[in-house]
Amino acid sequence: MLLVTPGREAAIENIRKAAAEGRFNDKTEPFDPQWDAEALKADILGYVSRMDSIGFKLKNLAARGIVDVWIRKWSDGVNEIEGLEKLESVKGPAFVTSNHFNPFDNGIHRTLARKAGRGRLLAISQGTNFVMPGINGFILRNIDVIPLIPEPSYMNGDFRRLLQKNLDAGKFILIYPEQEMWFNYRKPRPGKRGAFLFAAQYGVPVVPTFVQMQVIGPEPKDVKLILHVLDPIFPNPALSVRENSFAMCKADYEAKVACYEAAYHRPLDYTFSPWDIAGWQ
């Protein structure tokens, strides 16, 4: 079961248009929050400064509790993880990549990190998620995330510090190369190379994953997830950071495409059809 937010028909129409025009990393959610860049930067810096406070830790505990209850009630008993043994070659930290189709689709990745003995999963999250209203916003602001905003001083400062801290702790860090969420969209999309640039710079592997969706009920939320863990991609010491970032990005996308075609028994074709949106009638 997955969260279904308002505006699904508008979101699906936006997906149809974006896919037809090859805009695979564009926003498609009709109610994504809009925020002034300077105000957002101030909010994110305030968030980072509070991460070690008692108040934040209590909110983090509450947010993790809500997500853990959701995972155990709606996810762990239904969803599956395949290929867990492929993590045996990953002895230290790693960036985990995935397709992105729901605000809480990382629940199954949190289960993956736990089963792999890595404890709590970290996720890199768009800064605008931090200004969402309601319970969704509370969770996205207070769960284990590292906010990302297009601000050079932040990206070269606090962001890098948080990355290094969690990599040093041997954590799995989830990042979505597709950048934006496309609701229940089954197909893998070409990704941006930011995740792979980080992996090349820090000399850590990327663990590609692909989440397959199976419809198990009459509603868009009635979807079973199958997380496929794919072969880890390690930086090539013979290549430069830039060369590695492009090579790893290409390998990640090709692995997801191959998994999609094997899982759904169909070739990847970006011509839009209703089937592309799992559970959409």
The pLDDT value recorded for residue 75 is 63
CA dist 126 and 181 (Å) reads 11
Q: Which helix (H) or strand (E) holds 80?
A: strand 80-82
Which pTM value belongs to this model? 0.92
Token code pair at residue 236: 């090539």
What DSSP string runs through 208-246?
EEEEEEEE-SSSTT-EEEEEEEPPPB---TTS-HHHHHH
Residues of the chain under the 50 pLDDT cut: none
Domain 8-276 matching CATH 3.40.1130: the answer reads yes
Measured CA to CA in angstroms, residue 221 lies from 3, 74, 181, 250, 274 at distances of: 6, 11, 15, 31, 16
Rounded Cα distance, 71 and 271, in Å: 33
For the chain, counts of helices (H) and of strands (E): 9, 7
Question: Nearest 5°: phi and psi at 33?
Answer: -65, 140
CA distance 263 to 255: 12
Taking only the tens place, the pLDDT of each residue in 202-223 is 999 999 999 999 998 887 778 8
Q: What is the largest CA-CA distance in the chain?
A: 51
pLDDT reported for residue 69: 78
Query: How far is residue 216 from each of residues 99, 223, 224, measured CA to CA in Å?
Result: 20, 6, 6
pLDDT digits (tens, 9 = 90+) for 42-65: 888 888 888 889 998 898 888 888
What is the residue-wise DSSP string for 107-145? HHHHHHHHHTT--SPEEEEEGGGGG--HHHHHHHHHSSE
